Each structure stands twice: as C-alpha cells, then as structure tokens.
Amino acid sequence: MHPFFSSALALLLLVPQSARAQASLPPGFVDAAAVVDGLVVDMRYFGSDNFVGERIDGYERPRCVLSAPAANALAAVQRGLAVRGLGLKVFDCYRPQRAVANFVRWAQRIADVKRKREFYPDVDKRDLFKEGYISQRSGHSRGSTVDLTLVRRSDGRELDMGTPFDFFSPKSWPSDASVSGEAHANRALLAAAMTHGGFRPYKKEWWHFTLAGEPFPDTYFDFPIR
C-alpha cells in the first residue's frame, strides 16, 4: 500500500466511532446518547416491535438523533430524575419524512393487520387517519420531539404507564382515568419532569413530548438515521 494511503487509514482508525457518527449528521443535530448520560435507547422503528411489524424506512441504525437544544434539555431532565433513582428510555426521536411516508403506505394496506392485537385492538384500521393516529406529517421530523418513558436506574425496568408505547387508544391519553392509580401517577411524574425541562406534552400520547422553542419549527427533515 502507498505510504500516503497507509497514513490516511491509520488516522481514520484513530478517530473515535462517536466522532465519525456525529460527522454523518446535519448541522444542529446530535446523537442524544452521547449527550444524555445513561440514556436507554430502544428505537422501536429500527426493528419489528412496532405497529407495522417491520423496520421502517430511514432507520438504518438504532440511534436517538435530536436537535442539539432538545438533547441538552433532555440531559437536564435525566439529571433531575437521577436523584429519584429513575432515568429515561427513548422509543423514537428524530423521524425521517420517508418513515412517515412508510406509515402512510402501511395504513393504506387495509388487509395488513398482523399487529392489530398488540397496538390497535379497538380501532378499525380504516379509521387510523380519521382518528389522527397516522398523518402525512409528524413533528418528529423537525428533530425536537421524543417518545419516551421512565425506567428504574437500578435494573432498567420500565415504570407502569397503563398502556404500551404506540398503543392507539384513548387509554393512552395522559388524562385517561381508566388506568390504575400507579400508572396515572407515573404518567404525571414523567410529564412533570419533561415540562420542567422545557418540553410540551401531547394530550393524546403519554409518551410524546416536543421541545418548546424548537430550533426548526417549520422544517421537516428526511435524512436517514445512520
């Protein structure tokens, strides 16, 4: 091998993997796991444990990508929870627009109901658009919205929230009174921690929060997660 190329390869190997991963992101975005100490990452759309039942377009790696301000705010939330022995577990962060299009195509395939029992047992798939569970755009594509829950730092177990993540039902509304008292208290604890950290809750999903004053309020990105 030519000495020049040998030197270049050696320098590349010296660059930390995290730095190379950061270089793959557009300006203003970061890998949240590199910013939020102890963040548990369970990117559901990278695998098949989701309402579609397969990996979603644009999720090439299981990374929680967020705008830098959102990641920094999430780090502050994590620090506040640590004194309670709790932490954050993320299910989805930045979502490429191509992933949203993937959801739309799936919703139009009415016969594909293989995950209905787990995620939308009480909703006719033909009503997913009308009920607002699927739409042509998502705030996640702006880079400052995150879906998450609380876990115990001692063993990583999720706190009871009454429903699973992405459960299409009014039971997932933070205000729903049908869940247990424990689940209602846990939802309130999550909401309080996130709002104190500068995030806005969503009235129909206990897991969904958007940074107030997000840096890209009118831009829907489509870069893949690599």
Give the active site residues.
205
Whole-angstrom distance, CA of residue 145 vs CA of residue 208:
7
Contact 214, 200 (CB under 8 A): no
**41 backbone dihedrals φ, ψ, rounded to 5°:** -110, 120
How many angstroms separate the CA atoms of 169 and 118, rounded?
Answer: 11
Q: What is the DSSP letter of 159?
A: P
H or E segment at 126? none
Per-residue CA distances from 122 to 49, 54, 116, 136, 171 (Å): 19, 21, 9, 22, 11
